[in-house]
């Protein structure tokens, strides 16, 4: 079996200056790029997720939703935030492509679970933005998919800083490991016990 790193939604619209920016994202970028490069060298598969919304997505304030227009498919705001860049062999998964539904999770109506299965990846680390929304939802759905899941605490950024403690406590209660990125990369497998949930019958 193999390992994968899921980089959640580090897009222009979710970073400083974007339409729906998380907090302190500029401090994330260089350390994240450095970690991705190191992970590639050890054979970790890199998977990027991107919000890729239609212009009339149900989450937009213009259609009665809670959020400003963001990450419209093909727009500059939907692109990866520089200096992040997809490399040969990396995977890109688009989410939130339908009009209805928030599309928070990288597993929600996407081929991510199938792609990870094809790669024989059963151990995933998750990082990116925003901690209390898409990172949280992706982590929970990864666990529900039967994967060993670690949340990389130094490579996540929230919308609201005071939300982080509650998210980390929730992850621990669910059996999701939380650790710094270097510790995960240095370990051949997580030393933290985790709970395998019952397989869900409903779609994410």
Does residue 60 fall inside a structural domain?
yes
| pLDDT tens column, 124-142 | 999 999 999 999 999 999 9
Does residue 196 fall inside a structural domain?
no
Structurally, the chain folds into a number of domains equal to 1
Does residue 123 fall inside a structural domain?
yes
Determine the structural domain holding residue 89 and report its residue range. Answer: 2-186
Selected residue with higher pLDDT from 198 and 47 = 47
Tell me the average pLDDT of the chain. Answer: 92
Does residue 194 fall inside a structural domain?
no
Dmax (CA) of the chain: 47
Does residue 138 fall inside a structural domain?
yes
Residues with catalytic roles: 9, 95, 134
Does residue 198 fall inside a structural domain?
no
| pLDDT tens column, 75-118 | 999 999 999 999 999 999 999 999 999 899 999 999 999 999 99
Does residue 161 fall inside a structural domain?
yes
Tell me, what CATH number does 63's domain have? 3.40.50.850
């Amino acid at each position: 079996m193999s390992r994968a790193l899921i980089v959640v939604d580090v897009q222009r619209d979710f970073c400083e200056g974007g339409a729906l920016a998380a907090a302190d994202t500029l401090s994330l970028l260089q350390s994240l790029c450095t970690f991705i490069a190191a992970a590639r060298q050890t054979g970790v598969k890199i998977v990027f997720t991107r919000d890729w919304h239609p212009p009339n997505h149900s989450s937009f304030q213009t259609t009665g939703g809670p959020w400003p227009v963001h990450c419209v498919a093909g727009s500059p705001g939907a692109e990866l935030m520089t200096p992040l860049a997809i490399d040969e062999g990396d995977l890109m998964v688009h989410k939130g492509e339908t009009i209805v539904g928030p599309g928070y999770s990288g597993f929600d109506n996407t081929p991510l679970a199938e792609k990870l299965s094809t790669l024989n990846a059963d151990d995933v680390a998750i990082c990116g933005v925003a901690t209390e929304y898409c990172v949280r939802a992706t982590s929970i759905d990864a666990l529900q998919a039967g994967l060993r899941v670690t949340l990389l605490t130094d490579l996540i950024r929230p919308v609201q800083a005071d939300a982080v403690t509650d998210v980390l406590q929730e992850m621990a209660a669910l059996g999701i490991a939380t650790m710094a990125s270097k510790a995960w990369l240095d370990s051949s497998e997580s030393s933290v016990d985790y709970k395998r949930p019952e397989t869900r019958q409903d779609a994410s």
